[in-house]
Structure 1
């Protein structure tokens, strides 16, 4: 399993636990909290995976292109 996928899955498990806990605290319903906890973190996990991929691409470009490196370092 790739490092990115492992990070994504561990992030997802933490997010599911927090999402369920917060949703349950607000709704008092296990089924409602479960639904909320499954939908939102799953979408975030996919976004996180691609976010990591994009940053790796930026980091690779920064190693080669001084303009990109300066933009990443200095904002």
Structure 2
């Protein structure tokens, strides 16, 4: 758990620092550092759904080819 928390802190810190350095705006850096992980979490959910569906299709095709043979 400590490793996960430290990675989360590092991720938010990097996002904040990069946006702050690129824009010079501390508020914008903070906003991006807070919003980006939420958006990434939602994107990850759909990413996992895509790969689960792909795996299910592959398994279905394999079962179909076994039944045909």
TM-score scaled by structure 2? Answer: 0.57
Unaligned stretches of 5+ residues in structure 1: 1-8, 67-75
- Flag the structure with larger Rg: 2
Q: Where does residue 43 of structure 1 map in the other structure?
A: 39
Unaligned stretches of 5+ residues in structure 2: 63-69
Q: How does 1:1-75 map to 2 (within 5 A)?
A: 13=8, 15-66=11-62
Structure 1 Cα separation of the partners of residues 29 and 39 of structure 2: 16
Moved beyond 3 Å, runs of 4+? none
TM-score scaled by structure 1? Answer: 0.54
Structure with higher RCO (Cα < 8 A, 6+ apart): 1
